[in-house]
Chains A and B, each alone.
Chain A
Amino acid sequence: MEPVIKEGNEVLVSSVPFFFFKPKVGDIVAFKKFDRVFIKRIRNIKDDEYFLKGDNDKDSLDSKKVGWISGINILGKVLIY
């Protein structure tokens, strides 16, 4: 996610925004996959499925490996980073 979020950064995540608004393209979200928490940016949305990708196109593991993420796996929006 560099340069927006660098290694070691602390970020604040909240699910509250998504109680009022659905996640939208461009949002940075935390989600659970492979029993780990990841942070990526939403690039595409189809129904309740989210295609997520980091900002660093060259190195980022994108959703073609992670898979489309169901909305239920999204923990919250990254608000402060």
Chain B
Amino acid sequence: MISFDIESQVFFDFFPQDWFNIDMKLLNFLFKILPTETAYAHCDIPCGIYDPFRAQQAAHTIIRMTELLGKVEREDETKAEHDISRMTHVKEKHSDILEEELNTLRDDYFKEEHFKEHPNLNELFIKTLKSVSKARQNISLGDAEATLNRVLEISEIFFKTKGVESVRVKTVYPTAREIVLHR
């Protein structure tokens, strides 16, 4: 509960800020007479729910779209333009998702001790974000694959920090590449 209004302002004009020896009766009285409002010190969303799965899925989608863009048939030019637009849109959308997921993992999940324990982690994030940009800019399977491989490395480090054993398995996606899960 918080209290703030003119009365509280006047009150603290005359008393030091860190005055902890205030009479509890007086304090309780103030809490009763001053307007109160509920304040939140914790999140308003579930905390601690992090998973590199979405990042991996987005990286696979980028690969898939890159593959499909390379297979567009030019017999019907209108259809080809239409297909290219849709595939590029999906590639961009999943690049956005991947960047967001990487930023969440780097900024919110991984803590200082994780970066100390895995000295290559920060550079890995930088390289991954750069390869996402390259995969956006080009129709390059090499850039898309480099992105996925780095995301897989980050995923393995993630599960390591969680104290669980990670395992690389071949996905059932058309990309036919690997994904990192935990046992």
Residue with the greatest number of chain B CB neighbours at <10 A, chosen from A1, A16, A39:
A16
Q: Are B9 and A80 in contact (CB under 8 A)?
A: no
Q: Are A58 and B48 in contact (CB under 8 A)?
A: yes
Residues of B within 8 A of A13 (CB): 2-4, 8, 39
Complex CA distance for A36 and B43, rounded to whole angstroms = 11
Q: Are A64 and B2 in contact (CB under 8 A)?
A: no
Q: Are A12 and B2 in contact (CB under 8 A)?
A: yes
B27 on the A face (CB < 8 A): yes
Q: Number of B residues whose C-beta is below 8 Å from A?
A: 34
Least CB distance from B33 to A in Å reads 12
Least CB distance from B38 to A in Å reads 7
B75 on the A face (CB < 8 A): no
Least CB distance from A2 to B in Å reads 8
Interface string of A13-25 (1 = CB under 8 A from B): 1111100000000
Q: Are B39 and A80 in contact (CB under 8 A)?
A: no
Closest to A36 in B: B40
B22 on the A face (CB < 8 A): yes
Complex CA distance for A65 and B43, rounded to whole angstroms = 10
Closest to A78 in B: B2
Q: Are A15 and B9 in contact (CB under 8 A)?
A: yes
Interface string of A23-47 (1 = CB under 8 A from B): 0000000100010111110000000
Given contacts A11-B1, A14-B4, contact A39 B41 (CB under 8 A): yes
Q: Are A14 and B12 in contact (CB under 8 A)?
A: yes
A69 on the B face (CB < 8 A): no
Given contacts A15-B9, A75-B4, A76-B4, contact A40 B41 (CB under 8 A): yes
B30 on the A face (CB < 8 A): yes
Complex CA distance for A1 and B44, rounded to whole angstroms = 13
Residues of B within 8 A of A36 (CB): 39-40, 44
Q: Are A37 and B42 in contact (CB under 8 A)?
A: no
Residues of A within 8 A of B17 (CB): 17, 77, 79
Least CB distance from A67 to B in Å reads 12
Residues of B within 8 A of A14 (CB): 4, 8-9, 11-12
| List of 7 A-B pairs having minimum Cβ-Cβ separation, nearest first | A61-B43, A1-B41, A37-B39, A13-B2, A16-B9, A64-B107, A10-B1
